[in-house]
Amino acid sequence: MQAADDLSLILEAARGAGALAETFLKHGTESWDKGGNSPVSDADLAVDAFLEERLRALRPDYGWLSEETRDDKSRLAAPRTFLVDPIDGTRDFLRGRSGWAISIAVVEDDWPIAAVLFAPALGYEYTARQSGGAALNGKPIRTSGRSALQNARLCIDPDILRSRHWQGPACDTAPKPNSIALRMADVARGAADATFDGRSTNEYDTAAGALILTEAGGVITDTMGARPRYNKPRAKERDLIASASLALHEELRPAFAATLESRRRR
């Protein structure tokens, strides 16, 4: 029952982290660009420190990989590793929007076994445990199960579908929060049918969302069909696609791959 114990632990920690983040919204926060047009704030750092102190005190043998902490490769030899994005969707957080979340996953043997995605501004607590299903605010969730790409609701920038580079059929768009994990969670709860990102993503961006999605019946791979692996030496993935069903995924994967190739050739 270690996964269940870990899930309870990270849920309690996420709630505390969410409360801390909201104090910065109330009293003010400072932000700066840490390079590559990637914003960070004093709230990100404070939440990261809070989570590391809380979680590692109770699981000292677990590894740690977080957006705001220097990577310690000792995590590779740990039995399990925390993958943490203290504030996923910092841009929305700084703008006072709702599309940000506390993202925490516990990874064992390259896949998450427990995950929490807490979005205080939305009042959403997503949880998942390997082979135990996914839930939103304690109630089980499932994807839409949609099998056809035509007119599917894609959680992406609308400009992609309007571009001459889009290689798929006509589709609709769903609201797109800044947090990539929340986009994956929207697919998990049936608010969207799929989402994709043609950029390099960090493992801590998607680990919690990947477990929530797959436990809700969804599928996540890259354009080649490979499922992401977590807690790798180079903790990166690229061109990830998250879909509500395998049938939809197999239709979206080549359309997305062709779109990316067309855009990169311009």
* CB burial of residue 199 (10 Å; 0-12, 13-18, 19+): exposed
* CB burial of residue 150 (10 Å; 0-12, 13-18, 19+): exposed
Binding residue ranges for Mg(2+): 67, 85, 87-88, 205
Place of tokens 């590793």: 81
One-letter identity of residue 78: A
* CB burial of residue 20 (10 Å; 0-12, 13-18, 19+): middle
Binding residue ranges: 67, 85, 87-88, 205
